[in-house]
């Protein structure tokens, strides 16, 4: 099938006036209402100070997008294009930026998102002196989850991730894939409105990563969470997402809807074909971003 692709002209927006920016079409799936919107981002700019008097480094260059409730969005792009920086802003970890972010219909105050956010990193970031269950307890206590809900949440999510038998194990007694699943349990047990996932499977062998991708879709279907998933793996993005937002040089250059029925088969030829097209577009975007050779 032909995956529809929406091209964004980055050069057109560079010189936009304030009025032009106000009328910019946000990236969003067709259908739905504004009541479905979880994140609405307009003209998001992030700069890092230059060293030794150099000009600031602009990492995000006027990013616009909309994410709706229960969507699974993948942000695909090469290293250094601003993907992780964007997640850090959405999570509240990085409060220094310009632009507008509305979260759940409320204005986002820098560093203080009005929704509860779960964040999975490339590494599990577990506390090694605590057992699996104690790691989850620590997170729920820190996020002030009512203690009356702890048992039910843990039972559900340890079961969903097939870690029931490992509650008393320490991180060093568990494999890398198990530790990443435990990080997912920890994130889900704080009852987040949104899950941010920053290349959580990139450090795993392919067989383990494949298994976890399938598990993640099962968990997403069961919990109905909104997920924003960052990756540089095009097949991972094609298999997981409702939409791929392809980033380069701090901007979303392409939007690719993935119109494949769910539940999905990892070896579905339709996904292979979509991935082939995604890779082709990825290479075109990378080539366009490369500096001209003399």
Q: Is residue 217 part of a domain?
A: yes
Q: Is residue 98 part of a domain?
A: yes
**Domain count of the chain?**
1
Q: Please, are residues 41 and 108 in contact by the beta-carbon 8 Å criterion?
A: no
Q: At what angle do helices 150-160 and 206-223 cross, to 10 degrees?
A: 140
Q: Over the stretch 137-159, which tens digit does the pLDDT of each residue have?
A: 999 999 999 999 999 999 999 99
Burial 210-230 (b: 16+ CB within 10 A, else e): bebbebbbebbeebebbbbbb
Per-residue pLDDT for the chain (294 aa), expressed as one digit of tens each? 444 444 444 333 333 433 333 222 334 344 444 568 999 999 999 999 988 888 999 999 999 999 999 999 999 998 889 999 999 999 989 999 999 999 877 887 776 777 889 999 999 999 999 999 999 999 999 999 999 999 999 999 999 999 999 999 999 999 999 999 999 999 999 999 999 999 999 999 999 999 999 999 999 999 999 999 999 999 999 999 999 999 999 999 999 999 999 999 999 999 999 999 999 998 998 888 776 555
pTM of the shown model? 0.85
187 is written with which tokens?
């994130």
Cα dihedral: 179, 165, 127, 174 (round 10): -40
Q: What SS3 state is found at 196?
A: strand
Q: Please, are residues 227 and 69 in contact by the beta-carbon 8 Å criterion?
A: no
Q: Is residue 204 part of a domain?
A: yes
Q: Residue 94 is part of a domain; what is its CATH number? A: 3.40.50.300
Q: Over the stretch 206-245, which tens digit does the pLDDT of each residue have?
A: 999 999 999 999 999 999 999 999 999 999 999 999 999 9
70 Cβ neighbours under 8 A, 6+ residues apart: 224, 225, 226
Q: Which residue range is the domain that position 71 belongs to?
A: 6-115+193-289
Q: DSSP secondary structure string, 17-75?
A: -HHHHHTPPPP--SS--GGGEEEEEEEEEEEEPPSTTPPPEEEEEEEEEEEETT-EEEE
Q: Is residue 218 part of a domain?
A: yes
Q: Is residue 158 part of a domain?
A: no
Phi-psi region of 70 (alpha: psi -120 to 50; beta: other; left: phi over 0): left
Q: Is residue 148 part of a domain?
A: no
Q: Please, are residues 59 and 250 in contact by the beta-carbon 8 Å criterion?
A: yes
Q: Is residue 67 part of a domain?
A: yes
């Amino acid at each position: 099938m032909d995956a529809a692709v929406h091209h964004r002209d980055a050069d057109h927006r560079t010189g936009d006036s304030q009025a032009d920016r106000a009328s910019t079409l946000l990236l969003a799936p067709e259908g739905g209402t504004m009541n479905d919107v979880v994140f609405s981002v307009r003209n998001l700019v992030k700069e890092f100070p230059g060293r030794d008097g150099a000009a600031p480094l602009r990492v995000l260059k006027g990013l616009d997008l909309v994410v709706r409730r229960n969507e699974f969005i993948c942000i695909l792009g090469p290293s250094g294009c601003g993907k992780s920086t964007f997640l850090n802003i959405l999570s509240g970890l990085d409060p220094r930026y310009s632009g507008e972010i509305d979260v759940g219909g409320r204005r986002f105050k820098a560093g203080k998102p009005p929704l509860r956010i779960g964040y999975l990193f490339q590494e599990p970031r577990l506390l090694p002196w605590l057992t699996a269950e104690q790691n989850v307890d620590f997170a729920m206590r820190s996020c002030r989850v009512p203690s009356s809900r702890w048992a039910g949440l843990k039972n559900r999510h340890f079961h969903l991730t097939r870690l029931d038998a490992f509650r008393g194990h320490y991180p060093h007694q568990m494999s890398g894939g198990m530790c990443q699943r435990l990080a997912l349990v920890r994130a889900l047990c704080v009852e987040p409105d949104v899950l941010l996932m920053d290349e959580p499977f990139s450090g795993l062998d392919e067989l383990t990563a494949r298994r976890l991708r399938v598990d993640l879709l099962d968990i997403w279907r069961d919990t109905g969470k909104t997920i924003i998933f960052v990756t540089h793996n095009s097949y991972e993005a094609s298999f997981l997402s409702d939409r791929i937002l392809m980033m380069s040089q701090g901007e979303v250059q392409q939007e690719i809807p993935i119109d494949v029925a769910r539940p999905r088969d990892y070896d579905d030829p339709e996904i292979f074909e979509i991935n082939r097209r995604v890779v082709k577009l990825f290479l075109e975007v990378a080539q366009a971003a490369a500096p001209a050779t003399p």
